[in-house]
Amino acid sequence: MMNLLRSGNVTVFSLTNVASGFRWKAKKSNGEPIEKWKRDSLFIDKRGKLRSFNHKKVSRKRGGSLRGQGWKYGSGFVDGIFPVLSPVAQQILNFVQKEVDSNRIWGSLDTLPPTNTTWDDIITVAVQLRLNKRWDPIILMCEWILYRSSFQPDVICYNLLIDAYGQKSLYKKAESTYFELFEARCIPNEDTYALLLRAYCTSGLLEKAEAVFAEMRINDLPPSTVVYNAYIDGLLKGRNSKKAVEIFERMKRDRCQPSTDTYTMLINLYGKANKSYMALKLFNEMRSQKCKPNICTYTALVNAFARDGLCEKAEEIFEQLQEAGHEPDVYAYNALMEAYSRAGFPYGAAEIFSLMQHMGCEPDRASYNIMVDAYGRAGLHEDAQAMFEEMKRLGITPTMKSHMLLLSAYSKLGNVEKCEEIVNQMHKSGLKPDTFVLNSMLNLYGRVGQFEKMEEVFTAMENGPYDADISTYNILINTYGRTGFFEKMEELFKLLPHKNLKPDVVTWTSRLGAYSRKKQYKRCLEIFEEMIDDGCYPDGGTAKVLLSACSSEDQIEQVTTVIRTMHKDINTALPI
């Protein structure tokens, strides 16, 4: 809101923080030119070095849009330069991050003068909000530009809005914004197509995503690395790993050179699928293509080996990271700690934890969670508890995951009283136990033979706000099968289709295990055939259970032949 203050012969416009918004400030003296605010052309890059740049070269794109770091997909922003906020922009940013009333935000934006400087400030704020992953304020600001302001929106404004809608899975609004872009006679760039692609993929709309590819070709804009990366990223966010690998292979067939980001996403994908050998294969392919790995690539590969518990390989890649000139950050240290934790070496993880602190890298919440998990896995529940308490002492609030890891540590010991205490502590902290926590309690009660409490928890899940998942039924099927309650086990198994749940390899193997303990070989074969007919592929655990059901050499030979034949016939072209 404009506030005119007069003092003698000086007129002052002030921009101050008020409860309802912000006010514009400028200073003017009689007969003297206004001293224009000069932007700081200095910034600190990601290596901590002071650098300078020319605003005329990097601050404007066609149409007057500011260019700043933070635009993930491409050409719109300069890499390595963070948005430079003017005093006005900083006040706008502070206001829109705190205010929740859209009318108040729009009303305050209405008071800004319609100048190029204001335009730059608004777009800079939107970019900073994107870095902060604050999608709602971005939507409010861009909608204000489109539907209320006198500014002519350009492609960057539309891109920011499409991105924000896509991040919130509002694909229809992202789509309508794309059509509005054409109505405004604005030409889409590769960022536009990339962001629309990702919005569709995140929502599982693969046909629409392919239509975007087709439209790009019609408009003589062949899909670039930026677009392919967005496609793969969207598929991964939509949990469609198989399709992501297909698009990666198509990218190479189309002779579109994968970038560092492309390889990093795929290495992450294989790491999460416990395919560290495939992650390493891609890493070697990447280097053979003269594509330079960055710290995220190395960390992804360390994580891949960590998930498989291969701490020596993880340490080898960690050393390569340092040899390549990268300074390990908290994510890299956490990945190496995870490797030692999963390999069963909690004191190795503790050494990395101490090293990280010694090198001046501050541990975060994830670091403490990893240490709680490392001690818990090794049965060192007192050390796990001590790390949990240290986290609280330092002012780091334990999350649901933190409590869950501590719960797992005591659950391994069968300490029902302590586990119940931790669940009560969650309630007191305002954390509502989720399905994973309740499954852990189900498993604990089942292991110690407290079936009454186990069934109480299951009934509460069935009647309450928590959805029982396939893991819930797996725990119950395994518990009843292990203790010889075959009728209850089969009853639960028959319930799965009615609950819209599909049996997985754990379900089938648990059921097989019940009969295997009784050496009911023929019944095991019948269930195994059902499993194959249902499209579920057996794993190593299934083979062991089948072999344990055998009571003669002929039966062992028969099972071995079947398993070997299946391994030969399985299609391993896409190992996801």
316-336 pLDDT, tens per residue?
A: 999 999 999 999 999 999 999
Q: What is the percent of the chain with per-residue pLDDT over 90, rounded to a whole number?
A: 51
At residue 572, does pLDDT exceed 80? no
Query: pLDDT at position 47, please?
Result: 52
Q: Give CA–CA dist 166/158, Å, rounded.
A: 12
Q: Which residues touch 47 (CB under 8 Å, ≥6 apart)?
A: none
Residues 401-417 have a mean pLDDT of 91
In tens, the pLDDT along 162-182 reads: 999 999 989 999 999 999 998
User: Which two three-digit tokens encode residue 501?
Assistant: 């749940």
Q: Which residues touch 156 (CB under 8 Å, ≥6 apart)?
A: 61, 63, 65, 76, 123
- What is Dmax (Cα atoms) for the chain? 108
Residue pair 268/298 in contact by the 8 Å Cβ criterion: no
Q: Give CA–CA dist 574/576, Å, rounded.
A: 6
Q: What is the pTM of this model?
A: 0.71
Query: pLDDT at position 375, please?
Result: 94
Query: pLDDT at position 345, please?
Result: 93
Query: pLDDT at position 54, please?
Result: 43
Q: What is the percent of the chain with per-residue pLDDT over 70, rounded to a whole number?
A: 84
Q: Give CA–CA dist 440/420, Å, rounded.
A: 11
Residues 486-500 have a mean pLDDT of 93
Q: Give CA–CA dist 228/73, Å, rounded.
A: 10
Residues 78-96 have a mean pLDDT of 76
Q: Give CA–CA dist 526/454, Å, rounded.
A: 30
At residue 298, does pLDDT exceed 80? yes
CATH 1.20.58.220 given to domain 152-257: no
Q: Give CA–CA dist 330/357, Å, rounded.
A: 10
- Which residues on neighbouring strands pair with residue 43, listed in sequence order? 51
Find the helix or strand (DSSP H, E) in which 83 lies: none
Residues 436-460 have a mean pLDDT of 91
Q: How far is CA 512 from the centre of its chain?
A: 36
User: Which two three-digit tokens encode residue 86?
Assistant: 């003017």
In the predicted model, what is the mean pLDDT of the chain? 82
- With CA atoms as reference, report the closest residue to 257 among 244, 265, 248, 266: 248
Task: Assign 3-class secondary structure to 134-150.
Answer: CHHHHHHHHHHHHHCCC
Residue pair 229/259 in contact by the 8 Å Cβ criterion: yes
Query: pLDDT at position 49, please?
Result: 54
Residue pair 481/447 in contact by the 8 Å Cβ criterion: no
Residue written as token pair 């994908």? 269
Q: Which residues touch 173 (CB under 8 Å, ≥6 apart)?
A: 165
Find the helix or strand (DSSP H, E) in which 94 lies: helix 87-98
Q: Which residues touch 459 (CB under 8 Å, ≥6 apart)?
A: none
Q: Give CA–CA dist 406/387, Å, rounded.
A: 10
Q: Give CA–CA dist 18/2, Å, rounded.
A: 12
Q: Give CA–CA dist 272/266, Å, rounded.
A: 10
Q: Which residues touch 341 (CB under 8 Å, ≥6 apart)?
A: 306, 349, 370, 371, 373, 374, 377
pLDDT-based confidence at residue 413 (cuts at 50, 70, 90): confident
User: Which two three-digit tokens encode residue 537?
Assistant: 């592929």
Alpha-carbon torsion angle 336, 342, 343, 344, nearest 10: 110
Domain boundaries, the chain: 1-151, 152-257, 436-502, 504-576
The one-character DSSP state at 112 is: S
pLDDT-based confidence at residue 29 (cuts at 50, 70, 90): very low
- State which of 45-49, 117-121, 491-495 shows the largest mean pLDDT: 491-495
- With CA atoms as reference, report the closest residue to 283 among 309, 246, 251, 320: 320
Q: 149 to each of 112, 127, 205, 493, how far by Cα in Å?
A: 10, 19, 33, 60
At residue 116, does pLDDT exceed 80? yes
pLDDT-based confidence at residue 78 (cuts at 50, 70, 90): very low
